[in-house]
């Protein structure tokens, strides 16, 4: 329609199978596409929104990656999530005037803006869209439950193995290599998210490498023993080992 339209549409987005479009038919998809605002790229460290930004929209990651952080009263930061293409950001703020967390680009990234009042209006007309939004929020809650378990019950080793295998899985879903990926996330951010210090993360990564579970080359990670890592992350390696050696 205009010079600024680079033909960016849900219809041609390679992550639509993970995003709101997943359950919509052509007609519905077109309506959704119409309300979406594409924004110019964000650079690394750019703030998509922060805790004093008025809440008006949800955002879908088009490319790149983001972290969500909350800030505590005593000034500390807590990373509460990492977002890859297709992920929706902002579900923690639907009942508030302003966003309840900050979203920060981890690399050059693009987002689709979904004005919430229009989305809500559409949700009235399209039950499938409504269901989809609720599903996303529901599985968000469910994942947070799993995370609680991880933080409460698992040792440092298991937490990091979970993080790596989970990330690998998410890359796979997006058509990226699940064996090898460049961390856009720093050791610091991983530690913050998992409730560990950067030193512990560092030590564990070198240990995993010695144990031939992964190779580490700076930010480049290669997964060598996915199944074993997954089993270990669940505290199941003892049982698994027993099975193997019996």
Among 30, 34, 120, 211, binds its own copies (CB under 8 A): 120
Surface-to-core class of residue 186, CB atoms within 10 Å of its CB (0-12 exposed, 13-18 middle, 19+ buried):
middle
Say if residues 20 and 82 touch (Cβ distance below 8 Å). Answer: no
Helix, strand, coil percentages (3-state) for the chain, rounded to 5, are 45, 20, 30
**Binding of its own copies by 140 (CB under 8 A):** yes
Q: How far is the CB of 228 from DNA (least distance, A)?
A: 18
Binding footprint of DNA on the chain (CB under 7 A): 44, 155-157, 186-188, 195-203, 205-206, 216, 218-219
CA distance 145 to 94: 20
Q: Which stretch binds its own copies (CB under 8 A): 25-33, 149-157, 165-173, 203-211?
A: 149-157
Q: Which does 239 bind (CB under 5 to 8 A by kind): DNA, its own copies, none?
A: its own copies
Token digits of residue 81: 């999530």
Q: Whole-number minimum distance, CB 161 to DNA, in Å?
A: 11
Nearer to its own copies, 47 or 141 (CB): 141
**Shortest distance, position 77 Cβ to its own copies, whole Å:** 9
Exposure of 127 in the CB half-sphere (CA atoms within 13 A): 0
33 DSSP assignment: H
Site for its own copies in 69-88 (CB under 8 A): 70, 72-74, 76, 78, 80
Q: Is 139 in the site for its own copies (CB under 8 A)?
A: yes
Of the candidates 184, 194, 206, the one whose C-alpha atom is nearest the C-alpha of residue 233 is 194
């Amino acid at each position: 329609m205009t010079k600024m339209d680079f033909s960016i549409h849900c219809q041609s987005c390679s992550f639509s199978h993970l995003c709101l479009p997943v359950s919509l038919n052509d007609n519905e998809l077109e309506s959704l596409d119409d309300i979406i605002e594409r924004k110019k790229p964000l650079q690394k460290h750019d703030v998509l929104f922060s805790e004093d930004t008025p809440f008006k929209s949800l955002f879908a990651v088009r490319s790149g990656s983001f972290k969500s952080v909350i800030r505590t009263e005593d000034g500390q930061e807590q990373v509460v999530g990492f977002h890859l293409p297709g992920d929706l950001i902002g579900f923690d703020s639907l009942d508030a005037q302003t966003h309840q967390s900050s979203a920060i680009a981890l690399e050059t990234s693009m987002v689709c803006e979904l004005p919430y009042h229009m989305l809500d209006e559409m949700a009235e007309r399209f039950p499938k869209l409504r269901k989809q939004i609720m599903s996303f929020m529901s599985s968000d809650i469910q994942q947070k439950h799993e995370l609680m378990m991880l933080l409460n019950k698992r040792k440092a080793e298991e937490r990091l193995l979970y993080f790596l295998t989970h990330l690998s899985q998410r890359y796979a879903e997006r058509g990226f290599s699940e064996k090898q990926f460049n961390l856009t996330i720093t050791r610091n951010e991983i530690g913050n998210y998992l409730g560990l210090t950067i030193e512990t993360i560092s030590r564990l990564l070198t240990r995993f490498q010695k144990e031939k579970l992964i190779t580490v080359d700076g930010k480049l990670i290669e997964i060598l023993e996915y199944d074993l890592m997954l089993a270990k992350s669940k505290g199941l390696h003892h049982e698994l080992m027993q099975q193997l050696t019996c």
